[in-house]
Amino acid sequence: MSDPLLRRLALFDRADQHTLLRHCRHGVERESLRVDPAGNLALTPHPRALGSALTHAQITTDYSEALLEFITDAREDAAETLDELDTIHRFVHAHLGEERLWPHSMPCQLPDEATIPIADYGNSHVGQLKHIYRKGLAVRYGKTMQCIAGIHYNFSLPEALWPLLQQEEGDTRPAQDWQSACYIALIRNFRRYSWLLPYLFGASPAVGASFFRGQPHRLDTLDAETLYLPWATSLRMSDLGYQSEAQASLTPCYDSLDSYLDSLRRAVTTPYAPYAAVGTQRDGEWVQLNTNVLQIENEYYSTIRPKRVINSGERPLQALGARGVQYVEVRCLDLNPFLPLGIDLTETRFLDAFLLFCALEDGPGLISGECGECTGNFARSVNEGRKPGLQLSRHGKPIGLKEWGLELLERIGACADRLDAAFGHDQHRRALEVQQAKLEDVSLTPSAQVLRSLQDDKLSLFAFARREAERHAEWFSQRPLDAATEARFEQAARDSLAAQARLESEQQGSFEDYMAHYLGAIHT
């Protein structure tokens, strides 16, 4: 069989491997701002009823004290993952009082920068480190940018797949090196084809005018409160969102896990002059962890990351270097403001087929020009993905987004069919058909639907998001948790508060010594 993708997919046609793909694992991290009844950023502390943001396994905060983050376990069926996410939402909504979860990726009405509260994790050394890291993000990028929210989708292929595939390919590397190399190849293909995701799932074609705080911009005016680009799909992922001049030279092209780790290791140990001019302390208070290009590796903004579960006190680079890649984290997904969870099963079923395709399609190294080509295609998709006749670049030659997208869906379809065969249903194929319809009819994309709602209902982005927030709150309030589940979440909240208290009472040594050890661990 000459087609490598089809040859590899044929492995799952064997009777003893027919259900292997049931054992992919899926996890979701959903971010959302807490807002007051008027749709303004909530300035209240993280609700104590939700537990400790430092030690709770499922309910935490991201940048701001008001930016909640919900984390599911990694489960074999994405339907169970979303059920867990739904349960977390129902518990949280029951303890928010009059506050609501902002359903849009771009922020609500924000106060002045100084007033936006940075997440507080208490007085333990690890809690202080997390807080100072976020203070550093404010110094480097401003607080407004850090209030953007999204969905992170964690995905791993079955552990039993790697030796099967390695035997098929005749590869003789150590098993850990082979698995890591396969995940890095997946990431290379993701870079090639991820322009498709903002077209299909981008839902932030507009932003509140106050986001720019009077600074110049290139957007059109929709109304007094709303700016937009007419063909945009995901302004969150554009140069209005997570961008950094310091990181502009940081473009790991994923030749290997070692090259990726080396590029990040250099970034977290190389001083950057503008940050050095600020320093690490001001008036005796820490303002950033260090003055390097990145304070820590998590600061690197990317659409996808290789990941591994870390041990206590371990840094991500240490974990990846010692034990290899365990899963990938997709980071370019907007919240869908029409969906109470921000994501639904149709999206996850397609993502699984897309990521399986990226894993099994040939993924050669990105030659120098192709890396920039991938970046350019993604930028065109987020800024003008719905533009009629939009052309992307494939191997230096123009190709229509729609034409290329339909070609990709045909190949992804073979992956969807193998997943359906493993599960005994047709949900992956039906999810793919939903995406094909979006390529055929741009009005079906979430970004088009958001703009249509704003225009047809004559709503500003803020008014639209407040309306959807109320709808979601009603949806959750109509389905309260049963007594046993509510009690389980309440106990988890109490346990997390107790765990934070123990950390604070039992810690030893100075914070400066803790910092030196943590930051120095990158060299070990």
Question: Average pLDDT in the 167-182 region?
Answer: 96
Question: Average pLDDT in the 254-264 region?
Answer: 92
Say what the pLDDT of residue 454 is: 97
Question: Is the CB of residue 72 less than 8 Å from the CB of residue 452?
Answer: no
Nearest of 462, 477, 438, 445 to residue 103 by alpha carbon: 462
Conformational region of residue 306, where left means phi above 0, alpha means psi within -120 to 50, and beta covers everything else: beta
Question: Average pLDDT in the 349-372 region?
Answer: 93
- Is the pLDDT at 493 greater than 60? The verdict is yes
CA distance 376 to 383: 11
pLDDT (tens digit, 9 = 90+) per residue, 196-210? 999 999 999 999 999
Question: Average pLDDT in the 480-489 region?
Answer: 98
CA distance 387 to 469: 29
Say what the pLDDT of residue 524 is: 55
- Is the pLDDT at 251 greater than 70? The verdict is no
Question: Average pLDDT in the 73-92 region?
Answer: 98
Say what the pLDDT of residue 282 is: 93
**Number of separate domains in the chain:** 1
> Which residues have C-beta within 8 Å of that of residue 202, sequence separation ≥ 6?
232, 233, 234, 236, 237, 334, 381, 382, 385, 445, 446, 447
CA distance 431 to 416: 9
Which letter does DSSP use for residue 239 in this model? T
Beta bridge partners of 226: 208, 223
Say what the pLDDT of residue 85 is: 98
Range in 1-5, 209-213, 270-274, 291-295 the model is least confident about:
1-5
More confident residue, 92 or 255: 92
Question: Is the CB of residue 12 less than 8 Å from the CB of residue 418?
Answer: yes
Q: What is the distance in angstroms between the CA of the first residue and the CA of the last residue of the chain?
A: 45
Q: Under DSSP, is residue 105 helix (H, G, I), strand (E, B) or coil? A: coil
pLDDT (tens digit, 9 = 90+) per residue, 3-33? 999 999 999 999 999 999 999 999 999 999 9
Beta bridge partners of 35: 41, 100
Say what the pLDDT of residue 69 is: 98
The answer to whether the Cα torsion of 50, 304, 331, 4 is positive or negative is negative
More confident residue, 215 or 403: 403
Say what the pLDDT of residue 489 is: 98
> Which residues have C-beta within 8 Å of that of residue 464, sequence separation ≥ 6?
104, 337, 450, 453, 454, 457
Say what the pLDDT of residue 523 is: 64
Query: How many contiguous H segments (helices) and E segments (strands) does the chain have?
Result: 17, 14
Q: Could you tell me the two tokens for 163?
A: 């030796």
pLDDT (tens digit, 9 = 90+) per residue, 415-464? 999 999 999 999 999 999 999 999 999 999 999 999 999 999 999 999 99
CATH number where 43 lies: 3.30.590.20
- Is the pLDDT at 242 greater than 70? The verdict is no
Which domain covers residue 189, as residue numbers? 4-523
Say what the pLDDT of residue 88 is: 98
- Is the pLDDT at 521 greater than 90? The verdict is no
Q: Which amino acid does the sequence have at 289? A: L
> Which residues have C-beta within 8 Å of that of residue 132, sequence separation ≥ 6?
286, 287, 288, 289
- Is the pLDDT at 293 greater than 90? The verdict is yes
Which letter does DSSP use for residue 267 in this model? H
Query: Taking the mean position of all CA atoms in its chain, how far away is CA 389?
Result: 29
Say what the pLDDT of residue 246 is: 72
Q: Under DSSP, is residue 75 helix (H, G, I), strand (E, B) or coil? A: strand
Query: 249-273 burial by CB neighbour count: b if 16+ within 10 A, else e?
Result: ebebbbeebeebbebbbebbeeebe
> Which residues have C-beta within 8 Å of that of residue 317, sequence separation ≥ 6?
261, 264, 265, 268, 297, 522
Which letter does DSSP use for residue 204 in this model? B
Question: Is the CB of residue 292 less than 8 Å from the CB of residue 275?
Answer: yes
Percent of the chain exceeding pLDDT 70 equals 98
- Provide the pLDDT confidence category of residue 241 given band limits of 50, 70 and 90: low
Beta bridge partners of 442: none
Say what the pLDDT of residue 368 is: 73
> Which residues have C-beta within 8 Å of that of residue 68, sequence separation ≥ 6?
31, 32, 33, 34, 46, 59, 60, 61, 62, 92, 101
Question: Average pLDDT in the 478-483 region?
Answer: 98
Q: Could you tell me the two tokens for 12?
A: 């799952």
- Is the pLDDT at 1 greater than 60? The verdict is no
Say what the pLDDT of residue 250 is: 73
Q: What is the mean pLDDT of the chain?
A: 95
